[in-house]
A and B are shown apart, each in its own frame.
Chain A
Amino acid sequence: EAGVAQSPRYKIIEKRQSVAFWCNPISGHATLYWYQQILGQGPKLLIQFQNNGVVDDSQLPKDRFSAERLKGVDSTLKIQPAKLEDSAVYLCASRPRQGATGELFFGEGSRLTVL
């Protein structure tokens, strides 16, 4: 079974530039999460999708971050304009469905460095 795919793996940009990250979850997984992991910290939830609908974006800095999952499969996370403090690893994760307990499957992450 293919895992959660993310790209790009690494991105270096200057502050005020924009960046986009892509995630393809495990086939059939209805629930998709984007987490931000700053160096030395645990993953922090940014946004959660159930199919193509947002179920939680309470911690997403909406003035600069946006995310979409138009067809309920792939998802993109965009940052515009980027700030120095956005330097982190952006992890995408998926689960079969909302509401049930069980394992989160993570991608390898996209490491962003903002200069």
Chain B
Amino acid sequence: GENVEQHPSTLSVQEGDSAVIKCTYSDSASNYFPWYKQELGKRPQLIIDIRSNVGEKKDQRIAVTLNKTAKHFSLHITETQPEDSAVYFCAAGGTTSGTYKYIFGTGTRLKVLA
């Protein structure tokens, strides 16, 4: 079945350093790749997304890259700040059996050390 693998499961970085989280998807029909940030006890919130016709997208300190051939996409956070500490989820969206589905990765707990 469809699957999204996410690595690493935990990541600790010093404030000001960069953080990179990687995901791999299996379904070639996937065409939408969002990243969600979830703070403790809060709802997941979209921070950036990319569609399959784009290779890279940037929004201030965050960027996402997509390699459709390898079925890889990555989240890059530069100049990390303590408020970036949270769990980050990648997802792959696509139509399977006539239904548009989102498959989520297992999450990465990011800790930014002051």
Interface residues of chain A, those whose CB is within 8 Å of chain B, are 3-4, 31, 33, 35, 40-45, 48, 55-56, 91, 98-104, 106-109
Partner of B105, one of A4, A35, A42, A107: A42
Residue of B nearest to A107 (CB): B43
Decide if B6 touches A106 in the complex (CB within 8 Å): no
> Across the interface, which residues of A come within 8 angstroms of B93, CB to CB?
101
Decide if A41 touches B107 in the complex (CB within 8 Å): yes
Instruction: Quote the shortest CB–CB distance from B78 to chain A (angstroms).
Output: 23
* With A91-B44, A109-B43: A101-B32 Cβ-Cβ less than 8 Å: yes
- Secondary structure dominating the interface of B: strand
Stretch at the interface among B13-21, B63-71, B95-103: B95-103
Decide if B100 touches A98 in the complex (CB within 8 Å): yes
Asked if B51 is at the interface (CB within 8 A of a chain A CB), the reply is yes
Restricting to B54-93, which residues have a CB under 8 Å from any CB of A?
89, 91, 93
Interface residues of chain B, those whose CB is within 8 Å of chain A, are 4, 6, 31-32, 34, 36, 42-46, 49, 51, 89, 91, 93, 95, 98-107
Residue of B nearest to A98 (CB): B100
Partner of A56, one of B36, B42, B45, B99: B99
Decide if B99 touches A104 in the complex (CB within 8 Å): no
Decide if B106 touches A41 in the complex (CB within 8 Å): yes
Decide if A42 touches B49 in the complex (CB within 8 Å): no
> How far is B97's CA from A99's CA once the two chains are assembled, in angstroms?
12
* With A40-B107, A42-B105, A103-B34: A48-B42 Cβ-Cβ less than 8 Å: no
Decide if B105 touches A108 in the complex (CB within 8 Å): no
Residue of A nearest to B93 (CB): A101
* With A42-B106, A43-B89, A55-B99: A104-B34 Cβ-Cβ less than 8 Å: yes
Decide if A48 touches B104 in the complex (CB within 8 Å): no
* With A99-B95, A101-B32, A102-B32: A43-B100 Cβ-Cβ less than 8 Å: no
